[in-house]
Amino acid sequence: MAYLDHAASTPMLPEAVAAVCAVMARPGNASSLHAAGRQARRTVEESREALAAALGGRPSEVLFTGGGTESDNLAVKGIFWARQDGGVARPRVLASAVEHHAVLDAVEWLVAHEGAEVTWLEADALGRVHPEVLEAALGDDVALVTVMWANNEVGTVQPVVALAEVAHRFGVPFHTDAVQAVGQLPVDFASSGVDALTLTGHKFGGPLGVGALLLGRDVACTPLLHGGGQERDVRSGTFDTPAVAGLAAAATLAVERQPVVARNLAALRDDLVRRVRAAIPDAVYNGDPVDRLPGNAHFSFPGCEGDSLLLLLDARGVEVSTGSACSSGVARPSHVLVAMGQDPETARSSLRFSLGHSSTVDDVDALLDALPSVVDRARRVPVR
């Protein structure tokens, strides 16, 4: 089995598994006042400090959540709502056209239900959002800007620092979905200048179902979940102590190993790209060839449907993705590729190969063993 879908979820690091298991065996609600509660609270707070240290934030800036989707929703909706207070009308949200659905759909919900207006920031053919585009769209009616750190489909890294700077010149808070970036790129919350940053555990070797929103101390955010007032009153709910411990253990290791992992992944990825191009000369390499996630390779295979390629590779034990997974499993042409100017047919011919900490050259060999005959076969499938 060759697993080339680390961008969907990467295996947990053994140290993170151990951290989860150790805490899971202990009782206690971190909000309780007795000894067991104090023990749980200590675990949560040590995890918070570890995560903050790994990502260049302060402990008070770490809000634990149920994962990337929750963090994105909390940032987009919460900051939008908070920015409507004080009698100033700020209906506009600026979001890049290549965001993950957790941001896209949260923005569209605000438009449909909360009177928000959206300006989609266009991306260039490589998937990059230019600071000039953001600057032209900004104004005093803007509630927030949200642009992802690195794209989950084509791997393009955004000029987040420059974009955040532009937003701040207009006094507008800046959120970034850094789900794909942590562990693959250097991510430092404080020096990046962003006001809110989404991360999730299972993309860098932590558990599924736990993530965090790093939220600057002076950034107002209205809660989605009301209750016990945990996490600065912004995210109520009993702490998932084992998950938080696993998240912190994974983040610490992933960030510590990031320079080495990134170098190795980039070398393996470059080898994969070179061999795919040699095997399938008309394959189109999508995304930014330089500023991209080290583990990401994304291709269009003209004349094929991504669905067919995936099925045929799966039958050969090679696990890849056509883009981002969707709940109903129905494949639509990727909005990311369409935003980059591809026609829907080319967009449907795409596959993402994503490498992670457990990838080896054997995985790439298995892919290249199967790919030529699979592409050949897929080209015979009638386009629907």
Cα angle: 207, vertex 151, 367; to 5 degrees:
75
The Cα 257–Cα 357 span in angstroms is: 10
Is 1 a binding residue for other proteins by CB under 8 A? The answer is no
For residue 62, report the phi and psi dihedrals to the nearest 5 degrees.
Answer: -95, 120
Nearer to other proteins, 292 or 348 (CB): 348
The Cα 345–Cα 262 span in angstroms is: 33
Window of 10-18, 192-200, 260-268, 309-317 that interacts with other proteins by CB under 8 A: 309-317
The Cα 88–Cα 115 span in angstroms is: 14
314, 325, 358, 360: residue in contact with other proteins (rule CB under 8 A):
314
Buried b (16+ CB within 10 A) or exposed e, 230-253: bbeebbeeebbbbbbbbbbbbbbb
For the CB of residue 69, give the shortest distance to other proteins in the complex, in Å: 18
For the CB of residue 343, give the shortest distance to other proteins in the complex, in Å: 15
Is 382 a binding residue for other proteins by CB under 8 A? The answer is yes
Q: Sheet holding 350-354: strands in order across?
A: 284-285, 296-300, 350-354
For the CB of residue 367, give the shortest distance to other proteins in the complex, in Å: 18
154, 312, 320, 367: residue in contact with other proteins (rule CB under 8 A):
312
The Cα 36–Cα 29 span in angstroms is: 7
For the CB of residue 127, give the shortest distance to other proteins in the complex, in Å: 24
Q: How many residues does the chain have?
A: 384
311, 316, 324, 341: residue in contact with other proteins (rule CB under 8 A):
311
The Cα 285–Cα 370 span in angstroms is: 19
For the CB of residue 184, give the shortest distance to other proteins in the complex, in Å: 29
Window of 134-142, 162-170, 276-284, 307-315 that interacts with other proteins by CB under 8 A: 307-315
Is 112 a binding residue for other proteins by CB under 8 A? The answer is no
For the CB of residue 2, give the shortest distance to other proteins in the complex, in Å: 16
Nearest alpha-carbon partner for 184 in 207, 203, 209 = 203
**DSSP structure class, residue 182:** B
Is 327 a binding residue for other proteins by CB under 8 A? The answer is yes
- Cβ neighbours of residue 209 closer than 8 Å, sequence gap 6 or more: 66, 67, 201, 202, 240, 243
Is 315 a binding residue for other proteins by CB under 8 A? The answer is yes
CB 143 within 8 A of CB 79: yes
Q: Is 131 exposed, middle or buried (CB count within 10 Å of its CB: 0-12, 13-18, 19+)?
A: middle
Q: Which of residues 359-378 bind other proteins (CB under 8 A)?
A: 377-378
34, 113, 217, 384: residue in contact with other proteins (rule CB under 8 A):
384
Question: How many residues interact with other proteins (rule CB under 8 A)?
Answer: 19
The Cα 278–Cα 56 span in angstroms is: 41
- The residue from 21, 221, 304, 326 that is catalytic is 326
For the CB of residue 377, give the shortest distance to other proteins in the complex, in Å: 6
Is 308 a binding residue for other proteins by CB under 8 A? The answer is yes
Nearer to other proteins, 87 or 328 (CB): 328
277, 331, 365, 369: residue in contact with other proteins (rule CB under 8 A):
331
For this structure, is 326 an active site residue?
A: yes
Question: Which are the catalytic amino acids?
Answer: 326
Residues near other proteins (CB under 8 A) are: 307-308, 310-312, 314-315, 327-332, 377-378, 380-382, 384
